[in-house]
Amino acid sequence: MTQDLAGQTAVVVGASSGMGRAIAGTLARAGAHVVASARRADRLAELQTQLADEGVQIDACSGDAGNVADVDRLMAQAAARTGRIDLLVYAAGTNTPQRGLDVLSPEGWAQLLDANLTGAFLCTRAAVPVMAGHGGGLIVYLSSAAVQRPDVSGVAYQASKHGLVGLAHGTRVEQKSHGIRTSVIFPGLCDTDILLARPVPTPREVLDQALQPQDVADAVLFLAKLPARALVPELELVPTSLW
């Protein structure tokens, strides 16, 4: 039997747009108490309004996932209502048009790794003690299909998405005795705002065949509803016609 999300607390980082936004809404509609986080407070407010119109409530906590104080504040807010964090989804991520080795600066490398990987570490570090304190939980990281099939998304982007895999599996092995599970989703091409950072725009006819954010949200919901005895360490999700 799948588990009911009613009464569970889910933290979604990177919830202001794209996959993260779809995930936050999907989990909330499934009954979870969702705390949505992102740097853009105005986008979070728009999401709250949209869901409120559907009769669904979420909490919002704006902040930078790469900032220790912001992350600690987020986890404290999430745990304040029930004392629990049952699910953490790290959906924050970015890329830069200056992604090739010939144009990527050390500053650009650091900024991308900070958003894509260091933020995931800080959120994991802050959530794990809360999860362990009530018997466990699930952490889902959104990586990229570029991990399986290297492409021209850039060395910093690919390094950060590979790093998420190490963070996920290392955390799972270390924290298994505390009931903490981790899953990594590897989405292929998905029609989200991150594609706007591509040096060459993706043609509309290609985007029409891409994944939609809701596809990834549905995959997260599947993982979240699995009983604690079941684990999906990795899940690859790609568009049928482009693979």
Tell me how far the alpha carbon of residue 174 is from its chain's centroid: 21
Decide if 24 is inside a domain.
yes
Decide if 141 is inside a domain.
yes
Query: 12 phi and psi, to 5 degrees?
Result: -115, 115
Cβ neighbours of residue 184 closer than 8 Å, sequence gap 6 or more: 140, 141, 142, 143, 164, 165, 168, 169, 233, 234, 235
Q: What is the mean pLDDT of the chain?
A: 94
CA-based torsion, 185, 188, 189, 191: positive or negative: negative
pLDDT in tens, 152-168: 889 999 999 999 999 99
Measured N-to-C along each axis, helices 155-175 and 119-133 cross at an angle, to the nearest 10 degrees, of 20
pLDDT of residue 23: 98
Of 29, 3, 26, nearest to 15 by C-alpha is: 26
Quote the pTM value: 0.95
pLDDT in tens, 83-95: 999 999 999 998 8
pLDDT in tens, 213-230: 999 999 999 999 999 999
Determine the residue type at 94.
T
Calculated CA dihedral for residues 143, 149, 154, 159, nearest 10 degrees:
50
**Residue 36 belongs to domain with CATH number:** 3.40.50.720
Decide if 190 is inside a domain.
yes
SS3 for 70-109 is HHHHHHHHHHHCCCCCCEEEECCCCCCCCCCCCCCCHHHH
Decide if 2 is inside a domain.
no
Total domain count for the chain? 1
* DSSP β-bridge partners for residue 21: none
Decide if 32 is inside a domain.
yes
- Where in the sequence is the domain holding 22, given as residue range(s)? 9-242
Decide if 220 is inside a domain.
yes
Decide if 79 is inside a domain.
yes
Strand ranges in 77-221 using DSSP code E only, listed in sequence order:
87-90, 137-142, 180-187
pLDDT of residue 241: 87
Decide if 87 is inside a domain.
yes
pLDDT in tens, 203-215: 888 888 999 999 9
Task: Please tell me whether residue 226 adopts helix, strand or coil conformation.
Answer: coil
Structure tokens at 64: 């930078």
Indicate if the pLDDT at residue 68 is higher than 70.
yes
Length of the chain counted residue by residue: 243
